[in-house]
Structure 1
Amino acid sequence: MLGLLLLLQVLDSCLWLGHSEVVNSFDNCPQFFYDGIPPDGALNPTNPARICQRFRNSYHYATLYDRDRRIPVYSAYKYQPVEEKRPRGWWFLEPQLIDNCNLKEMKKESDIKKECKISQEVIKRSQAVDDDYKGLKDLDRGHLSPSGHMDKDVSKMATFTLTNIVPQDSTLNNGQWRVYEDKTMKKNTKDCKTTYVITGAVRGNTYISHERVNRPSHIWSAACCMLDKKPPKAWGAIAENDKNQVEELSLGELEDRLTELYGGRVTLFNNACPRE
């Protein structure tokens, strides 16, 4: 009898995992992390969701999501920019965060309501929705994995999910952070064969949308670049989310800064990426 109960528990676990890409690891999308290793546990929120961001049957990047604050902690991706126009379209949500909804990739809110037969109120329990970002003053929907760093149209579209978005200071988003994303990254990656990027947001003390969605105190990014027949190189950047200033740092300096902000030792890449 005990053996039968254990077998049923295992089967139940397998069925649950089969319903979702939101699990306790990034095992289905390790390719977005250097050497397949995500950042360590110091960044983990109390109630995390690890999302292999899936759209049109492919994975495009990975996100650690804070369910309680309804913002991503970070998104990890490969830097592969292609000069194309920003895609026009809609904002997606993540049905896999919703109980009793078996859709396996990001969808429009209207599609989730229809296919899962649920209301917006049910969806709002698990994540931020489009209404949370309407009517904001001096704040933008700030991408952690930006569409401009993706290599094809479908991947660019996949960045327009609210699990990849934080309330970002408008002046910063359209000013020095955009300079960093568009110009500094292009310059720094000139000789890189593959560049792994992790871009994140430090939880803040204020919220938007009736205390539903956290406004981060800082936005940060780190990169580790693989060079042909040379050791890797790495760098970082950080910005306070109420000033139009970006501080460029070594990877080690960024990890030290994040260690102070998160209250625990932060390691973003493994030891092969230089800290100096």
Structure 2
Amino acid sequence: MLLLLLLQVWASCLWLAGSEVVTSFESSCPQFFFRETPPNEALQPENPAWICQNYKNQYYFATLYDRNRRIPVYSAYLYQPGPGKRPKTWMVEPQLMSPAYPKTMEKEWTLLNYFSVSLDQLSKSQAILKDYKNLTGLNRGHLNPSSHHPDSSSRTATFTLTNIVPQNEKLNGGAWNNYEQQTMTRRTQGCNATYVVVGAVPGNNYIAKGRVNKPSHIWSSACCEVDTHRRKAWAVIAENDKNEVQLLTLGELEDVLTQLYGRDQVSLFHRDCPRE
């Protein structure tokens, strides 16, 4: 009995990393969007989940998740790069199974061994580590990259499978990495605050025996506040089978996404962000 009690106490202490499935970003974690305005509903999937990604009781970014395709639609964050090591721990989102579970991201191992969750139960709600094993030409591509965050906790928070898509490995380690590490550094010179929304366009192919969608395109957009009166914006898009990144204006990316999704006009940021 004492051993069981100690295990329960220990397990409860593990719930330090957290993400919360919420009803809207505006009411729960609006701080990751310029003027607290998320993208409009033109990108919303059939079965969405709004996740405020939290670690050690602090929100670090926001993710709109596609439950059916088991990939994020987009992640939104503040660009605040800093030095530090790349984390190695991968986590999943318990609340995608049910709101009854704690508001946390956690390791698969912990869920399976201490919270009576089966791998089948977990896999029905989201992508799991097994889905990304033995891939050919693809790897786990962050939407929100760990290197764009200033410390260990914020970087670790990006290592959740709800922030990952199957990405062409040459693109991920090549032109896309160049954009994340070099182009962003140049473009954000003089910015007091840079808001980023980075996403993936669903494709026609899947990995893991049809479980996880392979996006057709990866894209990123940014709106930078130079001062109280000046802002600048930029965007990129890449086909997910080529090692090439195309630099666009924010307005051009919104038009391209509108064509790719075939729905209403896409709006990624508040109207005060320049589209040209």
TM over 0.5: yes
Aligned pairs, number = 256
1:39 aligns with 2:27: no
1:25-64 mapped onto 2 (5 Å cutoff) = 25-26=24-25, 27-64=27-64
Secondary structure of the corresponding residue to residue 192 of structure 1: coil
Q: Which moved more, 1:137-146 or 1:97-106?
A: 97-106
Tell me the alpha carbon deviations over residues 150-205 of structure 1, each in whole angstroms, 9 at most, x when there is no partner. 11110100100000000000000000000000000000001000000000000000
* CA distance in 1: counterparts of 2:240 and 2:114, whole angstroms: 37
Residue by residue, what CA displacement relative to the aligned partner does 1:196-216 show, whole Å, maximum 9, x if unpaired? 000000000000000000000
Paired residues of 2:83 and 2:151 also in contact (CA < 8 A): no
Moved more, 109-118 or 246-255: 109-118
Q: Is the 8 A contact 2:234 2:250 kept in 1?
A: yes
Query: Which residue identity does 2:271 align to in structure 1?
Result: N
Contact 1:220 1:236 (8 Å CA) reproduced: yes
Paired with 1:138 and 1:249, the residues of 2 have a C-alpha distance of 26
Q: Percent identity?
A: 57
Q: Write out per-residue CA displacement over residues 92-123 of structure 1, whole angstroms, 9 at most, x where no aligned residue.
A: 00001012642211000011123431210000
Give the SS at the match of 2:192: strand
Give the match for residue 10 of structure 1: none
Deviation at 1:230, TM superposition (A): 3.9
Equivalent-residue separation in structure 2 for 1:238 and 1:177 (angstroms): 9
Contact 1:80/1:149 (CA < 8 Å) preserved in 2?
Answer: yes
Runs of 4+ deviating beyond 4 Å: none
| 1:69/1:214 contact within 8 Å kept | yes
User: Secondary structure, in 3 states, of the residue corresponding to 2:101?
Assistant: coil
The amino acid of 2:144's aligned partner reads: S
Contact 1:101–1:116, Cα closer than 8 Å, also in 2:
no
Distance between the aligned counterparts of 2:196 and 2:103, measured in 1?
25
Other-structure match for 1:239:
238
Superposition pairs of residues 256-271 of structure 1, within 5 angstroms = 256-264=255-263, 265-271=265-271
Matched position secondary structure for 1:93: coil
1:214-253 map, 5 Å:
214-253=213-252
**For residues 124-273 of structure 1, what are the structure 2 equivalents within 5 Å?**
124-264=123-263, 265-273=265-273
TM-score by length of 1: 0.91
C-alpha contact 2:21 2:99 (8 A) present in aligned 1: no
Contact 2:53–2:59, Cα closer than 8 Å, also in 1: yes
Aligned to 2:81: 81
Q: CA deviation at 1:58?
A: 1.0
Q: 1:21 is paired with a residue of what secondary structure?
A: strand
User: Does the 8 Å contact 1:237/1:246 carry over to 2?
Assistant: yes
Partner Cα distance (1:233, 1:118) in 2: 46
Structure 2: stretches of 5+ with no match in the other structure: 1-18
* Distance in 2, Cα, partners of 1:86 & 1:21: 24
**Equivalence for 1:69:** 69
Output the aligned Cα RMSD: 1.1
Distance 1:260 1:94 in 2: 31
Distance in 1 between the 2:44 and 2:99 partners? 25
Structure 1 equivalent of residue 22 of structure 2 = 23
Q: What is the SS of the residue equivalent to 2:230?
A: strand
Q: Partners of 1:24 and 1:180 in 2: how far apart?
A: 32
Q: Which amino acid in 1 is paired with 2:234?
A: W
3-state SS, counterpart of residue 107 of structure 1: coil
Cα distance in 1, alignment partners of residues 270 and 40 from structure 2: 10
Relative to structure 1, the CA distance from residue 37 to residue 137 in structure 2 (aligned partners, 3 Å threshold; closer, same or farther) is same
Verify: 1:94 aligned to 2:93, yes or no: yes
**2:14 aligned partner:** none
Give distance in 2, aligned partners of 1:158 and 1:210. Answer: 28
1:263 positional shift: 1.1
Q: For residues 47 and 145 of structure 1, what CA distance do their matches in structure 2 show? A: 21
